[in-house]
Structure 1
Amino acid sequence: MRLSRLSRTVLGVVTVLILLVVYLPLFVVLVNSFSTSTSLSWPPPGFTLEWWGKAFQSTGALEAVGTSVVIALVATAISLVLGTLISLALQRFEFFGRDAISLLIILPIALPGIITGIALNNFFRTIVGVPLSIWTVVIAHATFCIVTVFNNVIARLRRTGTNLEEASADLGAGIWTTFRLVTFPQLRSALLAGALLAFALSFDEIIVTTFTAGSGVTTLPIYILNNMFRPNQAPVVSVIAVVLVIVSIVPIYLAQRLSGSEQTRR
């Protein structure tokens, strides 16, 4: 499809405007992390590395980072196991209600976070009767992290088909041998990409976390929210926000590179 010169110009201008709206606030946060002002006045009166030093020396911030990493890692591990099993079941077998189950698997990531948070809060506190803790946050994160693994794995299964698995079975290999030597190598990059996306999604989640975390659980996003309006904490929060953006970008970038490399090889 060819576009006229006017259409290309309009499309280019609209694209630049959208990118500015999305990334200009992030640039402002980055600049404010070096500002000498404690109230984040604009333009910054000067620049300093003081806030970066304080942020990396903050016990509360470091503990929040550790909590977020633990939650993200455990939620990602659960998502890898369950997401892979569900994908294999829905793609390799035909049974009644398969489409409905597929919809229910994807639904948690499509629902507003506040709805998911309220539902899980009621489930843990009222129906199950367990206190909110770091493990309730892990379970809550796993409910929507499964979707990223599920989407990556089932897309790969649809492209690869069953020819190699059937050939392996014809040669006498059992189910586990076929999975280890045939199925898993084909899914390896999809699993890694799904895990990276799940980790990023869990690491910076705040809405569901707010409703499912106990009083002693503070993840990095919650730490930022709690300290954002405290006196002299705004620059430190800006530093933490920049670190959070970087940590979120890296796994997403790696997942995109993995998907791109796989498509190129194909």
Structure 2
Amino acid sequence: MHLNLRSRIALRLAMALGLAVLYVPLLVVLVNSFNASRSFAWPPSGFSLRWWQAAWQEPGLRTALWTSVKAGLGATGIALVLGTMAAFAATRHRFFGRQAVSFLLALPIALPGIVTGIALNAAFRTVLTPLGIGFGLFTVIVGHATFCIVVVFNNVSARLRRLSSGSEDASADLGAHTFQTFWYVTLPAVRGALFAGALLAFALSFDEIVVTTFTAGPGTQTLPLWIYDNLARPNQGPVVDVVASALIVLAALPVWLAHRMSAEAL
């Protein structure tokens, strides 16, 4: 489609405006993390690294960071196993209700987080509490896995749809059993999709707050919960800006890697 000069200029302006709305607030937070003043002021009164040093010395911050890492790794591991198995079942086999299963697997990512959180909270109280299992890291991992599975499922399913089954059939004809075919033929072909799905799942889990609020116990605090709790404290404002700036970089890295891997696979 060919556009005239006026239309191209309008589209570029609209794109620039959209990017500015998305990324200028993030840039303000990043710049303000180096602000020498304790109070938020724009433009910054000076530049300093003392808030970065103060953030690293926060014991509660380091504990919350490690909790988020453990929750993200646990949820990603569950999502890789269940999401991959579901993707193979939905794309490589035909059975009654296959479309309904695919819809139900993708539904959690579309539901509002507060709905998922309330449902999980009620389910955990009904099922786990009578068994003596209270709210904590385990319930957070299970809660995050409910929507991380969707990311892995979508990535692996998309790769399998583009992957011909001829190589797998040839492997079976040459005498390889199911697990040999999967390990030597299928897995190398979908490895990029698995890695991309794992990166996106970890990123989703790492910065999730709504579902975490309903599934975390009193002693379980992830990094997003730590940020939320410290927003109301006036002396912690610069430290929160530092943590938010670090999260911008940490969240962008896995998304960029996943995008690169998905683009290379096309």
Q: Shorter-normalised TM-score: what interval?
A: over 0.9
Structure 1 stretch 212-221 or stretch 40-49: which is displaced more? 40-49
Are positions 1:103 and 2:103 aligned together? yes
Are positions 1:153 and 2:156 aligned together? yes
Instruction: Tell whether the 8 Å contact from 2:128 to 2:134 is kept in structure 1 after alignment.
Output: no
Matched residue type, 1:35? N
Q: Counterparts in 2 of 1:156-175, with a 5 A limit?
A: 156-175=159-178
Runs of 4+ in 1 over 2 A off after TM superposition: 126-130
Displacement of 1:128 in angstroms is 3.6
**TM-score, length basis structure 2:** 0.97
**Partners in 1 of 2:43 and 2:30 — Cα distance?**
13
**Partners in 1 of 2:120 and 2:39 — Cα distance?**
37
Q: Counterparts in 2 of 1:253-264, with a 5 A limit?
A: 253-263=256-266
SS in 1 for 2:39: coil
**Partners in 2 of 1:128 and 1:56 — Cα distance?**
36
SS in 2 for 1:36: coil
- Aligned residue in 2 for 1:52: 52
- Aligned residue in 1 for 2:38: 38
**Partners in 2 of 1:106 and 1:252 — Cα distance?**
20
Matched residue type, 1:114? I
Are positions 1:189 and 2:189 aligned together? no
- Aligned residue in 2 for 1:143: 146
Displacement of 1:39 in angstroms is 2.0
**Partners in 2 of 1:123 and 1:215 — Cα distance?**
18
Displacement of 1:73 in angstroms is 0.6
Structure 1 stretch 33-42 or stretch 241-250: which is displaced more? 33-42
Aligned-pair identity in percent equals 56
- Aligned residue in 2 for 1:116: 116
SS in 1 for 2:47: coil
Displacement of 1:228 in angstroms is 1.1
Residues 38-59 of structure 1: per-residue CA shift (max 9 Å, x gap): 2212222222111000011111
Residues 129-182 of structure 1: per-residue CA shift (max 9 Å, x gap): 242111000000000001111011011111012111111111111000000111
**Partners in 2 of 1:103 and 1:128 — Cα distance?**
27
Residues 65-105 of structure 1: per-residue CA shift (max 9 Å, x gap): 10100110111011101011001111111111100000000
Displacement of 1:127 in angstroms is 4.0
**Partners in 1 of 2:211 and 2:152 — Cα distance?**
19
Matched residue type, 2:154? N
**Partners in 2 of 1:231 and 1:126 — Cα distance?**
39
From 214, 226, 230, the counterpart of 1:227: 230
- Aligned residue in 1 for 2:246: 243
Matched residue type, 2:141? V
- Aligned residue in 2 for 1:6: 6
Matched residue type, 2:203? A
Matched residue type, 1:204? D
**Partners in 2 of 1:237 and 1:185 — Cα distance?**
42
SS in 1 for 2:202: helix
What are the ranges of 5 or more consecutive residues in structure 2 without an aligned counterpart? none
Aligned residues: 263
**Partners in 2 of 1:155 and 1:99 — Cα distance?**
15
**Partners in 2 of 1:55 and 1:49 — Cα distance?**
10
Are positions 1:133 and 2:117 aligned together? no
**Partners in 1 of 2:125 and 2:134 — Cα distance?**
6
**Partners in 1 of 2:248 and 2:62 — Cα distance?**
16
SS in 2 for 1:173: coil
What are the ranges of 5 or more consecutive residues in structure 1 without an aligned counterpart? none
Matched residue type, 2:85? L
